[in-house]
Amino acid sequence: MPAITQAITSRLTPRNIVFLMCAAVMATLFTRLGFWQLSRLAERRARNALVIQRLAQPPVALAALPRDTAVAHLRRVVLDGRYDYAHEMAWTNLSHDGSPGVHLLTPLRRAGTDTAVLVDRGWVYAPDGMTVDRARWREADTVSGIGRVQEIGRPFAEPATRVGHPDEIRWLSPDSVGRWAGYPVAPFYVALDGDTSIAKPVRTPAPALDEGPHLDYAIQWFSFAAIAIFGTIVAVFREPPRVIDALN
């Protein structure tokens, strides 16, 4: 034992101590990143369970939705009313399969209320990500279908619409749409479901239910932590190579 202790102590030079301390810091960082990825995985699984639960519920009327848009998010709703194509907007610079385009946001006017609901009818190709022939993509005036409620994110610092282009929107702003259209707009929008043909916009699919790369990333970070610790220990405490006397 004294020989082993002496051998270990002899390797703890100032340089090797700094080396071991750096390895410990790196291993701690890698381990924290690994657990962070595991927490992201848990969040993804919880989100998937919520998506499954809400999409499995039967469609309800728009008037029956909870007032809290976070609670209404992803609920399936019955759409019934008339499209206001005169105040349709292009949600610009949104790609699909790597191609530039826009999403067509059409206000839905309903009987018994002056508040319209923005319906995302889907994506269409636009070479510049902004300009599209909307008349080509018009559907029926009356609507009777199913959609999914979508939350509207926080506002950005930049204006929602460009000056002189009130029908082109960078980010969803019910207030901007309402000022241009002249009537109130609901604080959420609805992604339209249904089959997509070549003559219709590409409907927005339901959220993917995969778990993402988080588990693989967590394993990688934990592996890096193990390599940092055990690799450094081996490098510091391994037996030095013996020099062979060629004359003997």
Q: Given this model, what pLDDT does residue 18 score?
A: 77
Closest to 120 in 3D by CA, of 86, 149, 96: 149
Chain segment 98-141, per-residue pLDDT in tens: 999 999 999 999 998 999 999 999 999 999 999 999 889 999 99
Mean pLDDT (whole number) for 192-196: 78
CA angle 96, 168, 178 (to 5 degrees): 120
Mean pLDDT (whole number) for 201-224: 91
What is 51-98 written as a DSSP string? Answer: HHHHHTSPPEEGGGS-SSHHHHTT-EEEEEEEE-GGG-EEE-S--BTT
Give the pLDDT band (50/70/90) at residue 243.
Answer: very low
Q: Given this model, what pLDDT does residue 248 score?
A: 45
What is the distance between the alpha carbons of residues 150 and 174, in angstroms, rounded to a whole number? Answer: 13
Tokens of 150: 């979508």
Domain locations in the chain as residue ranges: 2-49+214-237, 61-192
Q: Given this model, what pLDDT does residue 214 score?
A: 94
What is the distance between the alpha carbons of residues 111 and 83, in angstroms, rounded to a whole number? Answer: 12
Chain segment 22-71, per-residue pLDDT in tens: 888 899 999 999 999 999 999 999 989 988 999 999 999 998 898 888 88
Closest to 92 in 3D by CA, of 139, 137, 135, 125: 125
* Mean pLDDT, the chain, integer: 86
Q: Given this model, what pLDDT does residue 196 score?
A: 66
Q: Given this model, what pLDDT does residue 7 score?
A: 53
- pLDDT over 90, % of the chain: 51
Q: Given this model, what pLDDT does residue 4 score?
A: 53
Mean pLDDT (whole number) for 145-157: 87
Element (H or E) spanning 122, and its range? Answer: strand 116-125
Give the pLDDT band (50/70/90) at residue 12.
Answer: low
Closest to 33 in 3D by CA, of 233, 216, 211, 210: 216
What SS3 state is found at 135? Answer: helix
Give the pLDDT band (50/70/90) at residue 11.
Answer: low
Q: Given this model, what pLDDT does residue 229 score?
A: 86
